[in-house]
Amino acid sequence: MSASSRAAPAARSAPEGGGKVRGIVAGVVTLAAGGVIYFTLVPMPPKFDRAPHTALGQVLAREALKLQQPGGRIIFITRDTTMFKTPAFEAQSEGFEKELRKAGAKIAVKRVLKVDPLRVVAVPPGDFFELLRKANEKDVIVSLLGPPVLDAAQIGKLTENRPHVIAVCSGAMPQQVDLKRLFDQRLIEAVVISRNEPASAGGANDGFDRHFKLITTANLSDLLPLPAAKPLR
């Protein structure tokens, strides 16, 4: 067999390899074009802003340190985020613990509750009652899961030497729970609520003040009244 006839197969294989390369390139270009069209028509959701929630945790820590008495403990209630990631709770917890460490303090008791993501976030009344019953007036309970909502029998079993309670009551909770009544019952001393609309603010608590408001006995009038119950038909 001649040298020229032996070289023929190699010459025929070159176009086949080139065709494969052109096919791959065409596929990549098609995918890229499809991606551009998709993200143009379906824009990416905005990135979650952790800053206001981190600031919320820092405000909670500062308020807890104000209320804590010598020898008292800081008891922290949050939700379990191992199964269902909740960036807001994670940022609040991180801000809270970081601010405590900055002041040389720490959480003495941490209660992490498993919460059904399809239900309203709240501490079971029985669990909150037990915490209030076992704590004393030197302690501070900080709850990211709302305030203690107890019945008359549970409140009657509490002593006068109760711990201080600070609770996050964001979202629609102030329209569902009578927070003024909880202040009157001495079940809470401070709550954080959401602003109906982001406010223009400045200063050290800018991230917090734009989205949240701290309510104490000094500004209870800032709480809106509960919606009137609709008459039954």
Topology (CATH) of 51-222: Rossmann fold (3.40.50)
Q: Of the candidates 178, 211, 218, which has an alpha carbon nearest to the alpha carbon of residue 193?
A: 211
Model pLDDT, residue 171: 87
Q: Which of the pair, 175 or 198, is modelled with greater confidence?
A: 175
Report the percentage of the chain scoring pLDDT > 90.
Answer: 55
Closest by CA to 137, choosing from 117, 159, 162, 160, is 162
What SS3 class is residue 155?
helix
Q: Comparing C-alpha atoms, which of 107, 76, 92 is closest to residue 208? A: 92
* pLDDT at residue 110 tops 80: yes
By the 8 A CB rule, do 56 and 95 touch? yes
**How far is C-alpha 46 from the chain's CA centre?**
17
pLDDT tens column, 19-66: 666 666 556 556 655 545 544 555 555 677 889 999 999 999 999 999
Report the candidate in 104, 77, 101 with the shortest Cα–Cα distance to residue 89.
77
Residue 39 confidence (pLDDT)? 46
Rounded to two decimals, the pTM is 0.76
Q: Residue 98: pLDDT band by 50, 70, 90 thresholds?
A: very high
pLDDT of 15 > 70? The answer is no
Task: Provide CB contacts within 8 A for 100, sequence distance 6+.
Answer: 61, 64, 65, 74, 106, 107
**Chain centroid to CA 212:** 13
